[in-house]
Structure 1
Amino acid sequence: MKKILIFTLCFFAYYSNFAQTYITNTTIIDVENQKLLPNQTLVITNNKISNINSSKKITIPANATVIDGTGKYLSPGLTDAHIHFSQNGGIYTRPDVIDLQKFVPYDQEIEATKTNMEDKLRRYLQNGITTVFDVGASYPFLKQRNDFKEAAFAPTIFITGPLATTYEPKVYENFQDDTPFTLTKTIEEGIKSVQDQLPFKPDFIKIWYIAGADGLSIEESARKNIPIIKAIIDEAHKNNLKVAVHATERITAQLAVENGADFLVHSVVDEILKPDFIQLLKKNKTILCPTLVVMENYNKSLGQELEFNLYEFEKSDAFQLGSLMDLKHITDTTLVERYKNIVQSKNAKEKTIRDEKNMLANLKLLSDAGVTIVTGTDAGNIGTLHATSYQAELKMMQKSGMTNWQIIVASTLNGAKILDKEKDFGSIAIGKNANLILLDENPVDDLKNLTKINKVINKGVVFNPSDLVKDTPEILVQRQLNGYNMRNIDAFLEPYAEDVELYTYPNTLIGKGKENMRKNYTQMFENTPNLHCELKGRIVQGNIVIDKEQVKFGNKFQDATVIYHIENGKIQKVYFVK
């Protein structure tokens, strides 16, 4: 009895030292039963949900951390089931699509992907995304993800190594460990591509199933290479690893699933799906991630038809977003115009419309049939910016006819099903990981409310979203430049203080106040053709940023030096040097 008493006292002493957080009087979004549970209190002990009950039935200890959830909605954290850390989302990130290496060398771009991985992770969490699947990385990222496993600011990362493929774009051939591809032209090479990854402990394996690059028809090529695809899948399964497959044609998707693929990471675009294919996915319990916006973002970027909302301007990586406008000043105008003409051609426009129509129709068919759908953006590709492209993806899913509840489930619970992790995350239940978002408004009413985040709870740690990514002086200046180049007056003015002062250097006041700027710059945006500012150089010194600019007005160019003074997180003073 004495031993039992001592053990009991030690047990309660041990658990009483655990950090506990109470989220009180909130409405829980129950994704498993697709209903709202009002007036609930949820208890977090360390990094787990330890209790959920009516607020009337829970007593809060004096030393607990309390978050008042009155009028708010508590959701499971979101999952982006298709991203790429090895791609930045800017214009220079895919040299196999558009080769701009004479302006920004690809090895410089690769280095940037490594150094800004933490920034990407923070932005995902800031946007309520607590789990990400990197569906095709490289060996450096398999290693680097280990640096963030315990970091509270980092979403949970599931990741593959290089994509096994029977076709490798030539531009990637000499990048060794940094290449995102492993060329597998034989069954033996396919098996080896899996075995080579095993020491790095990938969470799953990815196949880039490209048909037609060998000069054969799509079906002939797909069938020719299926023995290699099957060998890769079998080897992965032998090592208890699931397999994701890039397949955008019905025949490649069908062959992949028939041969054991667990996870299709794109939509079929070439035809409307027949019942036998849908039943095949259901029978094999194959999961589908439709990635609806990525091709449209390529077309908008290469065709210079970009558009962003204020949320995207504020929450995206400002430098990658800004790079998408570089085609307006890149000196190889022949290359730029060729791409612009291609994506804006009648044939390309008709194909885009046709592909989107098929993707949306197929998504509705699959969703209605009960196939497991997960939300993923393919972020990192040109124009599909990390974290902030998520809302556009949800909007497209909604356009297919999926209900808000279906989309929320696809964005939470279904993401956990990819690797059979439903016991760990994806819904709000006792014993699951405390990866949650507290929302100011109800996302079931409007999916945009998923951006109205009051708190993010990740691995049991509570964050204010604004604390996750700090606006440096350089970021603020880049954001206003992005708004300027997009002629978006609200995005342009957002980084400025309300009482901003504009000077001709050194001290001649020429304007004061944001509203005065609004009037003057709105008129300029509306009346100036071909307005574009190219950044020629930048110096950052503490809270001062000095930009060397070349501004195009119509057919004229003007060089300018502008000095920005930042105070209290806003641009307070601007000096134009003549």
Structure 2
Amino acid sequence: MTYKYLLIFLFLSFAISLNAQTYITNVTVADVEKQVLIPNQTLVITNDLISDIKKSTKVEIPADAKVIDGSGKYVFPGLTDAHIHFFQSGGLYTRPDAIDLRSERPYDLEIDYAHKNMEVVLHRYLQNGITNVIDLGATYNLLKQKDAYKNIANLPSVYMSGPLLTTYQPDAYNDLENDAPFTLVKTVEDGINMVRAQLPHHPDLIKIWYIVGRDGLSLEESAQKSLPLVKAIINEAHRNNLKVAVHATQRITAQLAVEHGCDFLVHSVADELVTDDFIQLLKKNKTILSPTLLVRDGYVNTYSQSTETSIHELQKADAYQLGTLQDLKHVPDTVLVSKYKKRTTSEASIRNLDKRTSIMMTNLKLLSDAGVLIATGTDAGNIGTLHASSYLAEVQAMYKSGMSTWDIMTASTVNGAKVLGKAHEFGTVSKGKKANLILLDANPIEDINNITALNKVINNGMVLNPNDILKDTASDLVQRQLNGYNLRNIEAFLEPYADDVEVYTNMDQLQYKGKATMRAKYSKLFDNTPNLHCELTSRFVQGNKIIDNERVQFGDKTIEASVIYQIENNKIKKVFFMKSE
């Protein structure tokens, strides 16, 4: 082939790749703005954009096009989690300002984990149909790392603020330099300069942690005292064309933040029922609110050792971090553990949590019914609120508050885009928008749980099978069964095992075979054994084999054991128990 013809060939190949098309035929398209379902449509994706949507009978499909049969399926915009934190893992050791366990796990290991696992966390979000995430309170090092994930088709889009500009800084985060998630603002000049300091790091927005009442003043006095700082930050951010999110959990802080230009209210008002004046203020200012209904529950359930984890979360969460939520059962500092458990299980604490939850639920219903823009956010990364998998529980709580399924899907899609001022780019199934979509086998308008009925995830035009986005490792499988064991959840415990699993002692003595026998044995164990808990003391990975050293408590009895798990075809096929003498 001559050089001339080679150039022509390469040009034509490049042109074909640039115009690669995918057709989703006979699908029901969701219009989340008009809140209607449009059946029998064919949606055309060209490269990374939605290039056409027409009635299926009016579309001619080229012979070389990629075709997905959408019969009986529903296409929605990709979901947005409008409030997460990459610097937090969701596990027990991630917030030393909340419970200080740095003697058990140094905080620098948490920082290291956040960086090394950020890409895995992003895959986990995409696997759950979440094509956009907004980190509202990161670090300078995470902002730098974010740049490595731009425009990668098999990763969700990441938007991020810099460190939280705060009126109160927990001592646990002192001296962390570029890994610090908080920056204390003491003066108006501090506020202005700290916004300017973030600009070279290219944040997508600015976040304020408006914490009041820790100075001994009343909530209103404390809020008014810090208001000049909040105003200065908002004004400087807006001068630099950056939107501002404000953490505000009291009516007074929320009201003052909105009155002075806050774009995005983070968390619900939890101390009093909102009035019509407050509602109209948010509507007038077009302020968006993310309710984050369940984040407090994650802390309480962990400290009280009363976590009840769904099968969805057990299968879709980071198994290791989920497992750490059970670690208070074996942390050596029993005085600390007892203090936290007593505090969260006291009658006063339970009444307070119930009251806060009731107020938040009622307020969300009032705000949503009045037309205030709501954006779904989980605050994932906080203790007990695990990345990606917690999204389902959050929308379930929104539904329990009285929001309609349509309003929840709007909050979970286009309103997330509006937080960033990017509704013209993504958030609806519309011609010219980004092809960030989810194809569902069931209708979430009929049942909000159907957001998990993922057939395909389409991200930047790339069609992905959810199970291919993030593959289980051998360690994932073994940790999942350990989590199921500690939670006494027989279905979660059995899920990673092969149907014909073989269980041995001393490497060569077959004790039994088959998941049915395992179910009978462990169901009885879970039902009849008090204080059942397995502590993992060490883990070694050798190819398809995992070697765990465990300390297992059965009532008042504790044994040491080593267990070898052999993985075949992405299931635990053989287990070898070796008791320590």
TM-score range, shorter chain: over 0.9
Instruction: Give the C-alpha shift of residue 18 in structure 1.
Output: 1.4
Instruction: Give the C-alpha shift of residue 213 in structure 1.
Output: 1.2
Counterpart of 2:69 in structure 1 is: 68
Counterpart of 2:424 in structure 1 is: 423
- Mapped to 2, the partners of 1:466 and 1:13 lie a distance apart of 30
Counterpart of 1:5 in structure 2 is: none
Instruction: Give the C-alpha shift of residue 577 in structure 1.
Output: 1.1
Give deviations 1:213-254, integer Å, cap 9, x for gaps.
112111111001100110000000000001000000000011
- Mapped to 1, the partners of 2:17 and 2:310 lie a distance apart of 47
Instruction: Give the C-alpha shift of residue 14 in structure 1.
Output: 3.9
- Mapped to 2, the partners of 1:13 and 1:139 lie a distance apart of 38
Query: Secondary structure, in 3 states, of the residue corresponding to 1:422?
Result: coil
Report the residue type matching 2:190 in the other structure: E
TM-score under structure 1 length normalisation:
0.97
The answer on 1:274 being equivalent to 2:275 is: yes
Query: Secondary structure, in 3 states, of the residue corresponding to 1:322?
Result: helix
Contact 1:531 1:551 in 2 (8 A): yes
Instruction: Give the C-alpha shift of residue 326 in structure 1.
Output: 0.5
Structure 1 segments (4+ residues) deviating >2 Å: 10-17
Instruction: Give the C-alpha shift of residue 512 in structure 1.
Output: 0.4
Report the residue type matching 1:421 in the other structure: K
Counterpart of 2:491 in structure 1 is: 490
Give deviations 1:125-145, integer Å, cap 9, x for gaps.
000000111011000111111
Counterpart of 1:479 in structure 2 is: 480
* Structure 1 runs not aligned, ≥5 long: 1-9
Alignment of 1:220-231 (within 5 A): 220-231=221-232
Counterpart of 1:31 in structure 2 is: 32
Counterpart of 1:165 in structure 2 is: 166
Q: Structure 1 stretch 55-64 or stretch 199-208: which is displaced more?
A: 55-64
Counterpart of 1:41 in structure 2 is: 42
Counterpart of 1:3 in structure 2 is: none
Report the residue type matching 2:188 in the other structure: I
Counterpart of 2:8 in structure 1 is: none
Counterpart of 1:296 in structure 2 is: 297
- Mapped to 2, the partners of 1:143 and 1:124 lie a distance apart of 20
Size of the aligned set, in residue pairs, is 569
Counterpart of 1:214 in structure 2 is: 215
Instruction: Give the C-alpha shift of residue 530 in structure 1.
Output: 0.2
Instruction: Give the C-alpha shift of residue 52 in structure 1.
Output: 0.6
Counterpart of 1:254 in structure 2 is: 255
- Mapped to 2, the partners of 1:474 and 1:398 lie a distance apart of 35
Counterpart of 1:334 in structure 2 is: 335
- Mapped to 2, the partners of 1:531 and 1:16 lie a distance apart of 57
TM-score under structure 2 length normalisation:
0.97
Query: Secondary structure, in 3 states, of the residue corresponding to 1:282?
Result: helix
Contact 2:21 2:45 in 1 (8 A): yes
Counterpart of 2:409 in structure 1 is: 408
Instruction: Give the C-alpha shift of residue 16 in structure 1.
Output: 7.6
Contact 1:121 1:153 in 2 (8 A): no
Report the residue type matching 2:113 in the other structure: A
Alignment of 1:339-354 (within 5 A): 339-354=340-355
- Mapped to 1, the partners of 2:333 and 2:416 lie a distance apart of 42
Alignment of 1:149-160 (within 5 A): 149-160=150-161
Report the residue type matching 1:350 in the other structure: R
Alignment of 1:96-115 (within 5 A): 96-115=97-116
- Mapped to 1, the partners of 2:269 and 2:219 lie a distance apart of 13
Query: Secondary structure, in 3 states, of the residue corresponding to 1:38?
Result: strand
Query: Secondary structure, in 3 states, of the residue corresponding to 1:223?
Result: helix
Counterpart of 1:394 in structure 2 is: 395
Query: Secondary structure, in 3 states, of the residue corresponding to 1:560?
Result: strand
Quick one: percent identity of the two aligned structures? Answer: 61
Counterpart of 1:7 in structure 2 is: none
Give deviations 1:518-562, integer Å, cap 9, x for gaps.
001000000000000000111100000010001000011001110
- Mapped to 2, the partners of 1:327 and 1:69 lie a distance apart of 47
- Mapped to 2, the partners of 1:124 and 1:59 lie a distance apart of 35
- Mapped to 2, the partners of 1:382 and 1:442 lie a distance apart of 31
Contact 2:151 2:157 in 1 (8 A): no
Contact 1:123 1:469 in 2 (8 A): yes
* Alpha-carbon spacing, 1:512–1:52, altered in 2? closer, same or farther (3 Å): same
Instruction: Give the C-alpha shift of residue 17 in structure 1.
Output: 4.7
Counterpart of 2:532 in structure 1 is: 531
Report the residue type matching 2:403 in the other structure: M
Contact 1:310 1:491 in 2 (8 A): yes
Report the residue type matching 2:290 in the other structure: C
Instruction: Give the C-alpha shift of residue 297 in structure 1.
Output: 1.1
- Mapped to 2, the partners of 1:14 and 1:540 lie a distance apart of 46
Report the residue type matching 2:283 in the other structure: K
* Alpha-carbon spacing, 1:53–1:16, altered in 2? closer, same or farther (3 Å): farther
Alignment of 1:294-333 (within 5 A): 294-333=295-334
Counterpart of 1:564 in structure 2 is: 565
Query: Secondary structure, in 3 states, of the residue corresponding to 2:383?
Result: coil
- Mapped to 2, the partners of 1:300 and 1:465 lie a distance apart of 30
- Mapped to 2, the partners of 1:306 and 1:445 lie a distance apart of 28
Give deviations 1:298-333, integer Å, cap 9, x for gaps.
100111010111111111000000000000001101
The answer on 1:465 being equivalent to 2:466 is: yes
Instruction: Give the C-alpha shift of residue 151 in structure 1.
Output: 1.5
- Mapped to 2, the partners of 1:171 and 1:420 lie a distance apart of 34
Give deviations 1:88-132, integer Å, cap 9, x for gaps.
000000000000000000111111011100111000000000011
Contact 2:88 2:95 in 1 (8 A): yes
- Mapped to 2, the partners of 1:417 and 1:78 lie a distance apart of 13
Report the residue type matching 1:281 in the other structure: L
Report the residue type matching 1:403 in the other structure: S
Report the residue type matching 1:365 in the other structure: L
Counterpart of 1:436 in structure 2 is: 437
Counterpart of 1:234 in structure 2 is: 235
Give deviations 1:147-172, integer Å, cap 9, x for gaps.
11121121111110000012100111
Query: Secondary structure, in 3 states, of the residue corresponding to 2:233?
Result: helix
- Mapped to 1, the partners of 2:424 and 2:195 lie a distance apart of 27
Instruction: Give the C-alpha shift of residue 506 in structure 1.
Output: 2.1
Report the residue type matching 1:445 in the other structure: E
Give deviations 1:341-376, integer Å, cap 9, x for gaps.
001011110000000010011111111111100100
Report the residue type matching 1:288 in the other structure: L
* Structure 2 runs not aligned, ≥5 long: 1-10
- Mapped to 2, the partners of 1:115 and 1:101 lie a distance apart of 19
Query: Secondary structure, in 3 states, of the residue corresponding to 1:364?
Result: helix
- Mapped to 1, the partners of 2:13 and 2:428 lie a distance apart of 28
Instruction: Give the C-alpha shift of residue 15 in structure 1.
Output: 6.5
- Mapped to 2, the partners of 1:64 and 1:459 lie a distance apart of 17
Alignment of 1:51-66 (within 5 A): 51-66=52-67
